[in-house]
Amino acid sequence: MSFQEINIKDLQINPFQLIGNDWLLITAGQQDQINTMTASWGGLGIMWGENVATVYIRPQRYTKTFVDQEECFSLSFFNGYKKEMGYLGKVSGKDTDKIAEVGLTPIFIDGVPTFKEASCVFIVEKKYVDTIKPECFIDETLDEKWYPNKDHHFMYICKIKKIYTQDI
């Protein structure tokens, strides 16, 4: 493993491919316990003069408990590992040691958990959280389609503190 920090301006990615098609893991916690979940919704951009990543986490996700406890968490991107990510996105860490089951290797970078097998890691710091609100939908069909159980996502806008990559 040899993660190198890179300048965000040197990041060569297509966010639509990276987030929407390749997916990512949202990982948070401390040495004694971490949790992770797959995500394929999110955004990268600029807010409040900072480089930011926005992720959307439903209230029932166990990972949300960990994200809420920490100032920082990680977004990990992989070359492949779709089978593993599919599992981590189906099973809850509440019920099983799913990280061990898929065989990923937790490591800590800057005190934040991620995985040895990742090809790119964003260390992010929470700046803003709010829920998607039913009354704010301009297109109400989206609320009906995506939230029949009223489990509206929490939206976390996070400053991208550091980006690490490795050839893997």
Binding site for ligand FMN (CB under 6 A): 23, 35, 37-41, 56-58, 61-63, 86, 89-94
Q: Minimum Å distance from CB 12 to ligand FMN?
A: 23
Looking at beta carbons only, is 75 or 121 nearer to ligand FMN? 75
Amino acid making up residue 54 = T
Q: Minimum Å distance from CB 75 to ligand FMN?
A: 11
Compute the distance between CA of residue 59 and CA of residue 76 in angstroms, rounded to an integer.
21
Closest CA to 126 of 112, 105, 109, 140: 112
Q: Minimum Å distance from CB 158 to ligand FMN?
A: 14
Looking at beta carbons only, is 38 or 119 nearer to ligand FMN? 38
Looking at beta carbons only, is 63 or 74 nearer to ligand FMN? 63
Enter the DSSP assignment of 109.
Answer: E
Structure tokens at 112: 């934040």
Q: Minimum Å distance from CB 91 to ligand FMN?
A: 5
Looking at beta carbons only, is 1 or 65 nearer to ligand FMN? 65
Rounded to an integer, what is the distance from CA 12 to the centroid of its chain?
Answer: 19
Residue nearest to ligand FMN (CB): 89
Do you know the residue count of the chain? 168
